[in-house]
Structure formats: C-alpha cells, structure tokens
Chains A and B, each alone.
Chain A
Amino acid sequence: MRQVFTQIPCYAGDVSGAASALYELGGMVVIHDPSGCNSTFNTHDETRWADRESLIFISGLNDMDAIVGNDEKFVDDVVEAAQNLQPRFIALCNSPIPYIIGTDFEGLSEMIEDQTGVPVFYIPTNGLHDYVDGASRAFEAVAKVLVADSDAVKRPRSVNILGLTPLDFDVSGSAASLERKLIEVGWQIQSNWALDCDPDQIRRAGGAAVNLVVSSTGWRAAKVLQDRFGTPAVAGCPVGAFSESVFEALECSARDAQIRLPYRDQIQSSKATEGQIAVIGEAVQAGSIAAALTATQEKPVRVIVPTEGADALVPNASMRIKGEAEIKASLDGARIVVADPLYAPLAPKGAQQIPLHHFAFSGRIGFNQAVNLFDDQAFSNLEKEIEDGNT
C-alpha cells in the first residue's frame, strides 16, 4: 500500500505551506481546524515564529459546530480578531473536517469581508496535500488579490523572486544571498515572495520584467502574473555552475516573453534516470542542484521529486515519485544520494549519503547542518563533498 510509511516522515502539509507563504505579508491567516494545525506549523514547519510576529490562528472547531453547521461562530470570531488586530488581509484555510462536510468558504469570505472591510480570500487547502500545494495556492491568491493593477508599468531589468519560503530555503540569509547574486548581474529586485520581504513591493509586482521561480511553490503565482501582466517566468535556482544558465534564461525571457525551465533542459539531455548520483527534493530546487552537478561532474544526475506541484516543473515525469517503496526503488543503483538525512533508511546499501537538510521534511532536526544554496562557497563545499564521494 503506497500510503503506508514506517521509515520516513511526511512533508509539511498544505496548511503549513499556505501559512509559510503568507507569513510576512501583514495579513491574518485563519485555519478552520479543531486543534493541532497551528502547533504543528509553528513547531515543525516555521523558523520565524518565535522571532517575528505573524497573525496565524486556528478556529478551534468542535464536533457540534461542525455537525450543525454553525458557521456564525467562525465568522464572528474572525471578525472580532480582525477588528482588534487590523490585518492587511484575511486568508481562510480549509482542513479535513470542513472539507469533508463541504463548508462554503467562498461565502464565508464574502461575509467576513462585508463586516470588516478587509480583503478576504480563501486558500483551498484541505490538509490532505503537502506544503507545495498549499504554498503555491497561497501565492496564487496573492497574485490575484494583493498585486495592484495600477503598478503594471514594466520596470526594465527588474525581477520578482517567486517561491521563497523557509520550508525550502531554511538558512537565515538565503534570501539576501539570492538577491545579491541577481543584483550582481544587473537585475533589480522588484519583489520577493516572500522571505525577508517587503509586502509593499509585492503589491507592485506587476511591474517586473520577468519572474524567477525558485521553487514549485511560486509556479501558480507566475502563471497568474503572466496572465495579468504578461510577465514571463524562468524556473530555476541560480546555484553553482547552473547560475549562468539561469541568468541567461532571465535575459532571454525578458526579451522574448517566453517561459524557460533551463534545469529541465539540461537534465533531460543527460540520461538522467541512469545517473549514479541521485538528488531527492522539491522539483525546481533539486533540478537546479542536479543541473549544477551535471555541469561540473559531467555525469548524469537523477532527480527524484516526492513533493507535489506542477508536472511541467519535474525534469522527467518518471521522476515524480510518491510512497516509501517507490522512492526506495527509484534509488536503486545510486552510489551517492544527496537528500535530507531522514531519507537515509531508503538509500541503497553502501551508497554515500550527502546530507542536504530540507526544512519541509525534517523540520528542526539537523537544522544547524542546513546549507545556504545561494552562497557560492557553501554550494561549492557541497559539490566538493559529492565529488569526493564520486571518485
């Protein structure tokens, strides 16, 4: 049974993904849930909770309110909290019980917006999906609701960074390192979605010349921004030797308004499924790491994507894997496994494991070993470790 796990944990859930994406934007996120979602999010899935304020709450749904459909309590509680705390917007997230009983969140959003005068939108999570799904839906909603029409005048050589959350980029300073790299090659940061970010910049995101999608969580927003403002997107993380390909793609897309996924092109051309080096992770990040390794090691690298997200972002459809047994099988023959340390039980016997901490997977465990992928020296060290294991 694919859904049975005894050796590895699951990824952070969709509700955590949504809360993480919206964390710094000055809104209020309300998860309609009995208990546990907020604690799980802020304990295991969020690095900022103790140090940076964000208004993220649960509704405390109980059985009787669910059975009799007492939505008034939910509305009243949200309105009361909003009137007291004055958020910029309100985002409502669904969870398994309201999902199964068919709660009308669109209707509730309208009721709350009428009573508060604050923009309210619904993130269609249900607790049954992983963080990529939740974060990407949250960013999609931001692109639809919070980005202003009036700021659609294009600013030359400006870029929105989409899909930046601590769930995928957990080391403090990751956002600054990425922004610095882009600025060094002549780009201006129009907005950063949304880590160490300025919410006002996100409001003006329509003015960017191009979108850089650094994780699958930013893909849905990129599609909305393309529809609304005609902004093209490039998916990829500028890491190691792959950075140049990303920068070149940004230049090209800003010129011809075409979507580009340079890591996908590079990996697909290299017999990737036969590679003795395997990278496990979220599609864009793992694909970019693999592309960088492919360039320097001149050997095929296989990418295994256990997370959700758009199929278009996965380097090879056969590499989208779900379930413990399938992941284990997909690693067959690999000599080096670059992955979160909690994947160790699934690695082939004798394979060398290169730890690449992924907060969305192992959370606080091993957090002090995490690598800032956008720091050239740190990435170079990671490559060296892999190279040593490959010789």
Chain B
Amino acid sequence: MLKRVGAGADFSKASMPISKAQFPNPFDAGLEFNTPEHSHWNIVHIGMQLPESRQIYICADNCMRGVVMTADEMDAGDRFGMVLLEEKDLLDSDLTDVTLQGIIGCIEKWKTRPKAVLVFPVCLHHFVGTDIDQVYEVLEAKYPDIFWLRCWMDPIMQKRGTTPDERERLEMTRPLYDLPPDCTQVNLIGPDTPAGSVQTNDFANLLERGGIRLNTMSACPDFETYRKTGAAAAEIFVSPFAKLAAEGLGKRLNRPVFNLNVGWRDAEIDASLDALAKDYSWQLSEWRASKRKAAGEAVQFAKARIGQMPIAIDAVGVFRPLSLARFLIESDFNVVRIYADGFLPEEQADFEWLQTHAPSLVLCSTLRPEMRRWPNPKEKVLAIGPRAAWFEKSTYFVQMVANGGLWGYSGQRTLMQRMCDALDHPKEAKPVIAQKGWGCTCVL
C-alpha cells in the first residue's frame, strides 16, 4: 500500500461526474503525474516487431535512458544503438554531422548488418535545425543494403499533431513491396495491437473461415517475408493509432482499408463485420447469430457472478472506455469510474448517452498532479485495465492493453470470462502492471 506523506488534496479538477464533464477533454492541462503502471507499448516495443531490424536513437542521456532500458528489458539490447549527445554537440558542433557520424558509428560497430534501421532523432533536432534529409541521403547512398526508416522521438510535437508512435507505424509500412493484390491475404496494420485468436476475435475467425490469411508483422520470420506482405489485397486496422499507417499504405498500394471499429456494442460490431463481409460477398447471418448468442450467454453468466460489484475501466486497457462502459451499463453491470484523460472523437455518442443514462459515472484523470494522492476506494472494485487497477488498489483486475486481442462478439464473450476470472483469482497488481509493453518479451 502506498505510504502517504501529504495531507490529501482537492480533486475537483481531476475527477467529476460525467454529467458535468466536457467532451473530449474533461480536464485542464497542468503538471503531469505518471503512475507506476507501464503496460502500454512505446516506440521501442513497436519498432522491435519489425523482423531483422535495429533501432538507433540520437539524444541526451535523460531521454536515452528510457528507450535503452526498454530495449534491455525486452532482451533486445543487441538490436539497439545510441548516440549520446553532449553540450558541445548542441552549442559548438553541427548536429547534422554529429547525427550522421553517430549513426555510421553504430552501423560500423555492429558485427552484422541489419536489414532495416529505424532512426530516431529527437526534439533537439527540430530546435537546433538539423538537416535530417541530408542525413538520410548520405546513409542511403553509403548503405544501400539497409532500409532506412525515418522515425522521430519528439514528444514536444505530439500535443498538437501526430504522435511519434503514429508516424513510426506509418514508416513501418514503407518497406512493403507494391505487388499485385493477392485476395487470399489481408494485413493487420499496427504491430502493437494484438490480433488475438480466432477464439477471441471475430474478424480473425471470419477471415480464417473465408480462407484468408491475416498477416501480422510480428508473425513474419524475416524482413523479406514482411516486405512481401505488400501483396495483401486489403489493409485492416483496429487501433485508432494505426489509422495514419493503414490509410497511408492503402493509398500507396491502392488497396481498400477497413477500420474495424473498436466499439463494444452490437451495432458497431455489426457495421464493421458487414463492411468486411460485403467486400468478400460473405453471408454472415448464421455465423453472427451463433457468436452473438455465445456472447449473450457469457454476459448472463458474468452478471450472475459479478452482480453489482463496482467496476472501473481505463483507456490503457481498451481504446474506447466510454463504449465499454455503455455496453456494461446496458447489460446491468455497475460501472462507477473511468480513468482517461481524453476521448477519441468516435466516443461522442457514448459520452452523451452516459451523461443521460449514467450521470453519476465518475471520470478520473490519470495525469493531473493531485492524482498522486487519489484515495483508496472504500470497497472492492473490479478493474478493467492496468491503470484502473493501480488507482483502485485492486487485486481483482483484467490485465490487458490495446483491447488485448478482443474484438466483436468473441471479444465481448472473452472479456466476460476474464472479468469472472479476475474475480475468482485475485492477484497482486504491482509486479504485473509495472512490466513495460505487456505481451512483449520481458526479462524482469
């Protein structure tokens, strides 16, 4: 249990009933707290999914520390190179040249040549005025056997535009060959979104049933195999943060792009399934009815098991916590709190529905500084997501990130099973939620 030294805090700016909240950003920006929960994937985890690739970062010690330790905790330190910047590089040198020579230094020090390198300049490169295009021109001429991926680690830019991880995902689609479309393949774009299995995921099940291979980056044994997935006849994405990548690839290769909606309610699931089925001329009625029936039975079973136990949800575990809250409340579960600092635009209808039908549902910031002193709950809470588990000090929690490979009716059913399992098998949160990049290799 957290040892407190302070005397509490006023939480009126950090938590509020949804009836009084503004969409999509309920909380004022201020100083930012960071919880001990680290389950989400960062740019290192995402990049490491690219087979036979390595990553090079050019930055200050403080910024480097987080990414190099991420790689080491993944047991992937041998795929990581770094150029540590010093004052002289910023004040007395040409940062373009320091960057270039540093990257060359990494390549020359490695005993084997990588097939692809993800390069990450940082905020400093914007502010000091580095000619990053020139860096890549030289690298591409000097090392034509390496595919150079132009990434960034520049969080100073992320609050007003695309994030470093969104641009990284897009860049990771660039190696894909422009091949004639093969109708037996589909790509799932966004390597940090687990595809789940045919048991947990309706679209995976549907594609398998239709004889379509679902390509994922992490399943490719080598870089060349990954490049050949450019043959897939369609691109699909689940993660909203993979939209830029999927649409960019679809445009480049002239392929249809399917946004498989991560809403939890039947209508949104059906809309996505129908779009996919229409493209392949599949009839879904019978298949869908059986999936829906199984999900309905799982909901009834979970309701009997969980009853009116309070439930908290976070935006690390699921992309659309408001949609999940609405689905659960409509199913007569007792959702009391949502931990999220902002919401996706597609959550607006659910937000408005909850304002009307569950006005006392509390929205909680995870970043506001006073959340460091968030009080322990007075009763046991079932948490869905790692951050909710931490704030609720719960041993009853579903550990998942980025929807955890759950999608559609199979996703509904599996979530119900996992909620029951969380209740039946309490676990200490700290060792689970402190692990970075849940689902990745980890040496801790």
Task: Tell me the A residues contacting B by CB distance below 8 Å.
Answer: 1, 3-7, 9-16, 26, 30, 34-40, 42-45, 49-55, 57-64, 66, 77-78, 80-81, 84-86, 95-97, 100-101, 125-130, 342, 362-365
Question: For the complex, what is the distance from the CA of A6 to the CA of B79, rounded to whole Å?
Answer: 8
Q: Distance in Å from the Cβ of A179 to the closest Cβ of chain B?
A: 19
In chain B, what residue has the closest Cβ to A43? Answer: B38
* CB-based contact A43/B69 at 8 Å: yes
Could you tell me the distance between the alpha carbons of A57 and B370 in the complex, rounded to whole angstroms?
A: 10
Residues in B whose Cβ lies below 8 Å from that of A34: 123, 155-156, 158
Which listed residue, A4, A5, A55, touches B372 by the CB 8 Å rule? Answer: A55
Chain B residue with the shortest CB-CB distance to A40: B66
* CB atoms of B158 and A35 under 8 A apart: yes
User: Would you list which residues of chain B between 77 and 113 have a CB under 8 Å from chain A?
Assistant: 77, 80-87, 89-90, 98, 101-102, 105-106, 109-110
Write out the residue numbers on chain B whose beta carbons fall within 8 Å of the beta carbon of A84: 9-10, 369-370
A85-B370, A364-B73 given; A50·B434 CB < 8 A? yes
B141: Cβ under 8 A from any A Cβ? no
Q: How far is the CA of A53 from the CA of B375 in the complex (A)?
A: 12
B54, closest chain A residue (CB): A6
Q: Are the C-beta atoms of A365 and B73 separated by less than 8 Å?
A: yes
What are the residues of chain B within 8 A of A128 when measuring CB–CB?
60-62, 85-87, 90
B182 to chain A, nearest CB (A): 38
Q: How far is the CA of A85 from the CA of B69 in the complex (A)?
A: 32
Please tell me if the beta carbons of A85 and B63 are within 8 angstroms of each other in the complex: no
Q: Are B160 and A64 in contact (CB under 8 A)?
A: yes
Within 8 A of A (CB), among B26-73: 29-34, 36, 38, 59-66, 68-69, 72-73
Can you list 27 residue pairs at the A/B interface with Cβ under 8 Å? A1-B83, A3-B89, A4-B81, A4-B83, A6-B82, A7-B109, A9-B68, A14-B61, A35-B158, A37-B62, A37-B63, A38-B33, A40-B66, A43-B66, A50-B434, A52-B2, A53-B3, A62-B159, A63-B156, A64-B160, A81-B31, A97-B123, A100-B128, A129-B61, A362-B72, A364-B444, A365-B72
Min distance, Cβ B211 to any Cβ of chain A, angstroms: 44
Q: Which residue of B lies closest to A13 (CB)?
A: B62
Is B69 within 8 A of A58, CB to CB?
Answer: no
Interface size bracket, B side: 35 or more
Does B10 contact A97, Cβ atoms closer than 8 Å?
Answer: no
List which B1-29 residues lie within 8 A (CB) of chain A: 1-7, 9-10, 29
Task: Write out, one digit per residue, whether chain B residues 149-163 have a CB within 8 A of any chain A CB (1) or not (0).
Answer: 000000111111000
Given contacts A50-B430, A53-B6, 19 further A-B contacts (CB under 8 A): A4-B106, A6-B110, A9-B65, A9-B72, A9-B77, A10-B65, A39-B66, A43-B69, A55-B372, A60-B29, A60-B30, A86-B6, A96-B90, A100-B128, A126-B60, A128-B61, A129-B61, A363-B69, A364-B444
Min Cβ gap A168→B in Å is: 16
- Give CA–CA (A153, B89) in the complex, Å: 48
Distance in angstroms from A169 CB to nearest chain B CB is 19
B206 on interface, CB distance cutoff 8 Å = no
Residues of A within 8 A of B287 (CB): none
Q: When the two chains form their complex, are residues A45 and B156 in contact, meaning their CB atoms are under 8 A apart?
A: no
Could you tell me the distance in whole angstroms from the C-beta of A52 to the nearest C-beta in chain B? 5
Contact between B2 and A51, CB atoms less than 8 A apart: yes
CB of B156 within 8 A of CB of A66, answer: yes
> Given the interface contacts A15-B62, A52-B3, A365-B443, does A38 sit within 8 Å of B34 by beta carbon?
yes
Asked whether A81 and B369 contact (CB < 8 A) given A1-B101, A100-B128, A127-B61, the answer is: yes
Residue B436 interfacial (CB < 8 Å): yes
Closest B residue to A76 by beta carbon equals B30
State the Cβ distance, B279 to closest chain A Cβ, in Å: 39
- What is the minimal beta-carbon distance from A215 to any residue of chain B, in angstroms? 18
Q: For B127, what are the chain A residues with a Cβ–Cβ distance below 8 Å?
A: 66, 97, 100-101
Flag if A60 contacts B370 (CB, 8 Å). Answer: no
* Cα distance A51–B73 in the bound complex, in angstroms: 22
In the bound complex, do residue A13 and residue B61 qualify as a contact, i.e. CB atoms below 8 Å apart? yes
A44 touches B65 (CB 8 A): yes
Contact of B139 with A by CB under 8 A = no
Do B31 and A53 touch (CB < 8 A)? no
- The smallest beta-carbon distance between A348 and chain B, in angstroms, is 17
* Chain B residues near A52 (CB-CB < 8 A): 2-3, 5
Whether the pair A58, B32 counts as a contact (CB closer than 8 A) is: yes
B124 within 8 A of A: yes
B293 within 8 A of A: no
Query: How far does the Cβ of A325 sit from chain B's closest Cβ, in whole Å?
Result: 9
- Which of B62, B159, B430 contacts A127, CB < 8 Å? B62
> By CB atoms of chain B within 10 A, which of A9, A35, A95, A364 has the most?
A35
> Taking CB as reference atom, which chain A residue is nearest B81?
A6
- Report if A36-B66 is in contact (Cβ < 8 Å); known contacts: A55-B369, A63-B126: yes
Tell me how far the C-beta of A322 lies from the nearest C-beta in chain B, rounded to whole angstroms.
Answer: 9
Q: Check: B167 CB closer than 8 A to any chain A CB.
A: no
Known interface pairs A57-B33, A128-B61; A96-B124 also in contact (CB < 8 Å): yes
Which chain A residue lies CB-closest to B109? A6
The list of the 5 closest CB pairs from A to B, nearest first, reads A13-B62, A40-B66, A4-B105, A127-B62, A35-B155
- Judged by a CB distance under 8 angstroms, whether B291 is at the interface is no
A contact residues around B444 at 8 Å (CB): 364-365
